[in-house]
Every structure is written in C-alpha cells, then in structure tokens.
Chains A and B, each alone.
Chain A
Amino acid sequence: MRWLRYGPDAALVECGSPAEMSAVRAAVVAANLPDLIEVVPGARTVLIAARPGSSGLDQARAVAESADPDNGAIGEPREITLDVRYDGDDLELVARTAGVGVDEVIELHTGATYTVAFTGFAPGFGYLTGLPEPLRQSRLDSPRTRVPAGSVGVAGEFTGVYPRSSPGGWRLLGHTDAVLFDSRAERPALLAPGDRVRFRSVR
C-alpha cells in the first residue's frame, strides 16, 4: 500500500489489488472517523479527504494499515437483484465477439455475482466487477451520443447501468426499469461501493 499526497488535506491510497482496495475502503468507512469528508474508492485506490487542519488523515492511515485484505466486506454486504430485459443494441455484437450465442451471453451475465467496486461518471453509476471473462470487451469505437437511462452495458472488466440518459461507449446488453439514483430518496443511490449485485432476465 502506497500513500500519495493529494493536496494538503487528502491522500490517495494506492493498493496492490482490488481486494486490498475494498478492504481499506471498508475499514476506513467502518471506523466512522468524524474528521473525514470523503472516502472515494477507485479501481485500485482509495482517496481520503479530511477536514483541513484535523488529524483525520493520520487516523485513517492507522485504520487502513491494519485492514485485513482477506476481509473486504465489513458486516453483511447489501444484495441487490436487478431485473433486465436482454434486448440491448449490442447483444449480438457481444455474442459474436465472445464467440458464443446470445442465450449464452445472457446466461453468463445473469450467472455471476458482481461487486460495486467504485462509482463515477454520473451520480449512481457503479462500476461492477466480477464480469465473466468472455464478456470483457472493449468500448465501442464510436460512443453513442445518447444511451437511454436504465441501459445495462459492459466495458473492459466492468458491467454497469446508466442511471440517466447520457452519451456513452459501453456495449449494451439490455435495459432495467430500476431507479438507480433519486437525489430526494433516503438512499439516493441504489448501488453503493461494496454492494453485491445480480442480474435476472425478464421478458
């Protein structure tokens, strides 16, 4: 684990593996340190921002260095199942690239359990890890100018759901009616880092 300075009041913790990242994030969040303002997971990092002039970063460092990389989840992770209509515009492209049939793409995508590794791109957009190898495919050569809200896509090692309509370059497998983000709800984001996610095929 490497601590990189990120301005006067924050540090970027570079981890050796996604598992270590999850463990550091979970431990720091569970410690509930009052002087921390943000704890932001990335693909391999955790960004920790503290109140200026506080000892929050030192406290976070002590917690992070004692985190157990074999225990990324502290407490029971939330489990969320998303119903998906697998009728996405890139379903056949994904099947062709993977060298399998469309039915097998759906089986692969619904057969795995995913973890929300980190978020970004838009409020409520979670980057989900755990994608089966054949579905790990590059982004579209030319991104769409508009991807509808609820679109379920894959890109690289991730799968995810567009919380709202936006431009996007992920290969689209289908669509869910679930509300991914509502800023006025008690839990504004359906998917938060550490949550477990499964997809279920519906017609």
Chain B
Amino acid sequence: MSRALEVVTTGPLALVQDLGRPGHAHLGVPPSGALDVPALRLANRLAGNPESAAGIEVLLGGFAVTARASCTVAVTGPPVAVTVDGRPAGSHVPVHLATGQTLTLGRPDTGLRCYLAVSGGIDVEPELGSRSRDVLSGIGPPPLEPGTVLALGAPSGIPDGADTVTAPPYPHELIVPVALGPRDDWFDDAAHQLSAPWTVTSESNRVGLRLDGPALARTATKDGEELPSEGLLTGAIQVPPNGLPVVFLADHPTTGGYPVIAVVLPRALAALAQARPGTTIRFRPYA
C-alpha cells in the first residue's frame, strides 16, 4: 500500500500546514500556513524534505500517529517529550519510524505549537497552491481526528542532522519589534502607548493574538471616526473601538475597517506564534 500515517490521538488542535497560499488576498483568501515558519522549515530539513513541504502543526501536544510505512520524522517548536512506542526519541532530531511504530508528542512546558515533519511530506490535495488549513475561511484539510489517514509523498532528500539545535524554552515576556503605521496618526503618541505591557488573552488563535492592557486612546480628531475598509497583512496590529489591540496572524481577514497602529516585523512573528495566554508583550518601535 502507499505510504501513509494514521492519526491515533490529537490534543486540542492538530492541522496540516505548509508555507501557506499568499497571493490571493485580493479574492478574500487569507495567506494561512504554519504560524512558526522557522520551526516548520527546520522540521522539514531534519526529515529530508524541501522546507515548503506540508507537516502537522500540533497545538499543546497530546498527539500520536502510527506509521503505515517506514519513514523519517522530526518534531520542532518548543522542547517537548517525543517517544516511539513509549521509548524516548527526542525532539529537534531526525527519528526513524518502522512500519507500525507509534510516535507520541507530550505536552510542551512552554510555547504552544510543535511541528511534525515526515519524509515525503503530507500529501493531501492542495487548494489554491497550498495544503494549509485556514481556520478563518475553512479552506484546506479539516482538523485531524483519531483515525485520519494521511498519505505521504515520495521521500526526496536525505535527513539533515547538521543544523540540529537545542530548543530554548519560550519566555514569559516578549519584546516585539514593530514598524509604526500606517495609521499611527490616529493615536496620541502611538509609540508610547504601545510600549505598555500587554497580556496575551485566551481568546487568541491562528487568526490573531488578542491582547489586554491599557486601552489605546485615539487622538481627539479621530474619535468616533470610521475607517473605510483597507487591506491587512500578517503582523498588523489593529485597534478596534475598545482600544485593545489584535495582532493578526496567518489566518487573518484580508481587509478590515479599524486602524492599524503598527506592524510587527516578520522576524518576530514566530515568537508570537508560541506566546501562551498570560505572556507579557512589549512592543518596541523600530526606526
């Protein structure tokens, strides 16, 4: 039979993700894709795949799969216990699975999302050029469930052990570099207001991080003004009328009618993907 994995258990949410489907925002289609892009790329390299291959984004562990064929797998993201048929195997290293063996991910102590890459990549049917599940618009394969069988592509490369890293735990406080604008002029001293400590709330998901803290005050001239809908990008910090910012992540709506005060620099997005509820965020404007 063809190469495949069978899902045994899932934790809160396990989704197929690759590097997403940018380029369709004008049709209302979010970019989607892995939230922690460097982690997916690393997992793919370790498994001998192109960095763009589809893997599995596992929220808060509790995930197990059985190999229906011999394959190489790698788990990245926060440090997490990985076992094969109950024996410790380690994260951030290539691991071989023989047919019938079961790989289990424990629950990470820090961070949110682990990435599992499998030699050959997850080979579900792409939609708009990507295999990613977009939770906002429902495009892509549905969330994985026990019993889901995932076909694998043909292995293409040699597992790369050279850039194996020891994963650091994720911090409780993040300094996040941002570029002010495009609508920072809607707020009194945007840089100062943004520098307050913000707390990640449990309302956060792949669409965006919802933050709690001192409500951002608009300038008097913009108070009550409506903004005609305009385009949004990943990392945009949008401020709804209640003044509590939302940092948009990969499954964000493509347009929105509230001002974007600043945009998170792309290199800081991976850390936001791992920010648990309760994490403190400080935005630091970048010249």
Q: Which A residues lie at the B interface, using CB under 8 A?
A: 4-10, 12, 37-47, 49, 52, 118-127, 164, 181, 183-184, 188-189, 192-193
Contact = CB atoms under 8 A, between A and B. Distances in A.
B193 to A, nearest CB: 18
Contacts of A193: 26
Given A4-B182, A119-B255, A38 B26 contact: yes
Contact of A47 (B27, B183, B230, B265): B230
A188 B29 contact: yes
A156 to B, nearest CB: 10
B137 A123 contact: yes
Nearest to A164: B138
A124 B228 CA distance: 19
Contact of A120 (B125, B180, B182, B253): B253
Interface stretch (B41-49, B100-108, B256-264): B256-264
Contacts, number: 118
A49 B229 contact: no
A142 to B, nearest CB: 17
Nearest to B30: A123
B134 to A, nearest CB: 9
Majority SS at the chain A contact face = strand
Nearest to A48: B231
Interface of B: 22-29, 125, 127-128, 137-139, 179-183, 228-233, 235-236, 253-256, 260, 263-266
Contacts of B138: 164
A16 to B, nearest CB: 13
A83 B27 CA distance: 21
Contacts of A12: 182, 230-231
Contacts of A52: 266
B233 A122 contact: no
A119 B181 CA distance: 22
Contact of B255 (A8, A42, A49): A42
B138, B182, B232, B264 — which one has the most chain A CB atoms within 10 A of its CB? B182
